[in-house]
Structure 1
């Protein structure tokens, strides 16, 4: 191959790389469809997980629908509100603290139902060293509005 051919080939490769890099889409920043709904769901997430972290089972009970479905990647499906609260008392109270990943919540309205919340969080095992890092998990919460009261009807928790 001649030097000219090698240069042309090199320019073609560099040009192709430049074009492919410049056309890669960057993830767009989340902007809520409904800012008011977003604030309301974030406030309820904060309130619910404050009850979760302080083991306020009465408050958690108020949030859960009687027809709750809780999908956990490691624990499977639970459909008993009483069972979820008993498992929380046995396995979580005083042992685990949930921390929301700041800025991770996304809220989408669902017509004639309520909203779906997506987010990320970590769970700190309180019996481990304070410098132990926690893996980020993803969650989905289905919030149903009945009259003026919001209830959690489904939870998907993935670690």
Structure 2
């Protein structure tokens, strides 16, 4: 009987302790302002690299796109999965993007963070438009690009595309 009472008291104590703990809640924030630009030079450099790459993307300049993609590319797509083959990536652009899709950066959405002795991280929003279906609704989606700078050349070494 004594053992049963002790167990009951322990369970009661545990229950009281658990119920007195604070419960963390997730708060949804609708109007989050973008990060303040700390390194304006780096920010402008990455925006320019983004502009150059996606102008080539939108106009099907596969030669320039090829220069901006390294051999060890990692392209993570939430729907398509992981692609690590540069040749497969370039073939996909040629067959599925050229003349069919255009990309537009969402103004004011970009954040840039330096990666010491490597390059930078770009986080932002963009919208893709299907040129074959001009009335299709396009929604902005998030992306992350890890830019690598080597010998004064910037390349998109890792890309995460989220829809």
Scaled by the length of structure 1, what TM-score is found? 0.80
Name which one, 1 or 2, has greater alpha-carbon Rg: 2
Q: Which whole-Å deviations, capped at 9, do the CAs of 1:45-65 have from their partners, x for residues lacking one?
A: 000000000111110000011
Gaps in structure 2 of 5+ consecutive residues: 1-28
Does structure 1 retain, via aligned residues, the 8 Å contact 2:53–2:64?
A: yes
Offset at residue 145 of structure 1 (A) = 0.9
* Structure 1: 4+ residue segments shifted above 4 A: none
- Cα distance in 2 for partners of 1:115, 1:52 equals 21
Gaps in structure 1 of 5+ consecutive residues: 1-23
- Cα distance in 2 for partners of 1:138, 1:36 equals 23
Which residue in the other structure is 2:122 paired with? 117
1:59-70 correspondence runs (5 A)? 59-70=64-75
RMSD: 1.6
Scaled by the length of structure 2, what TM-score is found? 0.78
Q: 1:143 aligns with which of 128, 142, 147?
A: 147
SS in 2 for 1:87: helix
Number of equivalenced pairs: 135
Which residue in the other structure is 2:5 paired with? none
* More strand as a share of residues: 1
Offset at residue 133 of structure 1 (A) = 2.1
Does structure 1 retain, via aligned residues, the 8 Å contact 2:34–2:111?
A: no
